[in-house]
Amino acid sequence: MHETSKRYIQQRKSIGFVPTMGALHKGHLSLFRRARDENDIVVASIFVNPIQFGPNEDYDRYPRDIEGDIAKLERESVDVLFLPDVKSIYPATFKTFVYVTDLSDKLCGAFRPNHFRGVTTVVNKLFNVVKPHKAYFGQKDYQQYLIIKRMVEDLNIDIEIILCPTIREEDGLAMSSRNSYLSSEERIAAKIIYKTLLEATNLIRSNLQPSDIKQRMLQMLLEENHVKEVQYAGIYDPESLDELDEIKRQCLVAIAIKIGETRLIDNFLVDV
């Protein structure tokens, strides 16, 4: 991959990069299309990154479908698939981590210790190997995007980080490889996330206070029987991820819940 990318760079071709964990869905495809539009060469990686999963999380059962994924990459005219194995990414001698303080401990980070350290470490490695000019991330994982953007700025990495809109099912559920874990009843219940984000948006536009909006969000989510746990729900500053006392400019409405055993997240950026 090093050599492939260096050859493209010597040929003055621009490289667009979409790092993924595979089990590709329409959300990923939208990233490939955006990268296709904006670059000479599109590189995708598929790597289920063990160090971003906690010990009781779903690393082992995370969906894998490499045959199906390759067919999709071909259909989208992705030029290069980088498909490293775990041992080549994390040899026995591996000891180095990249982490973004503060932002990595908030929201999802409070419930997934070391998750974002795993993300920034592997994305840093992938960036060094693929050497892209632009890299594409979905808004569904807004905190991940924000942390990667912070890493890139802080470490003077010469890559443009591009946030792409969340792609949704017809009923509004954000596309996610983890949606495949849901039973058909849970799948119906999962609509509550999108409905709650829509309601919160309306309440923001009606100038309700964030604390009142949060109460309404919690109420809606907890009224849904399949919601086992609300990890967070509320209105946040889109740069600091701090919970807002008052809404002055663009804000992040974000939710993380468990439906049965499946953890789902989603968010809107709302302009006021």
Site string for a second copy, 12-51 (x = CB under 8 A): x---------------------------------------
Residue 225 touching a second copy (CB under 8 A): no
With contacts defined by CB under 8 A, name the span among 96-104, 133-141, 204-212, 258-266 that binds a second copy: 96-104
97 vs 82: CA distance, rounded Å: 21
103 vs 125: CA distance, rounded Å: 20
Residue 146 touching a second copy (CB under 8 A): no
What three-state secondary structure class fits 25? coil
Cβ proximity of 148 and 174 under 8 Å: no
Cβ proximity of 147 and 104 under 8 Å: yes
Beta bridge partners of 163: 137
With contacts defined by CB under 8 A, name the span among 70-78, 87-95, 173-181, 262-270 that binds a second copy: 87-95
Q: Is 243 exposed, middle or buried (0-12, 13-18, 19+ CB in 10 A)?
A: middle
Residue type for position 26: K
Residue 77 touching a second copy (CB under 8 A): no
Site string for a second copy, 147-166 (x = CB under 8 A): ---xx-xxxxxx--------
Is 28 tagged catalytic? yes
Interface ranges with a second copy (CB under 8 A): 2, 6, 9-10, 12, 93-103, 120-121, 124-125, 128-129, 150-151, 153-158
Residues tagged active-site: 28
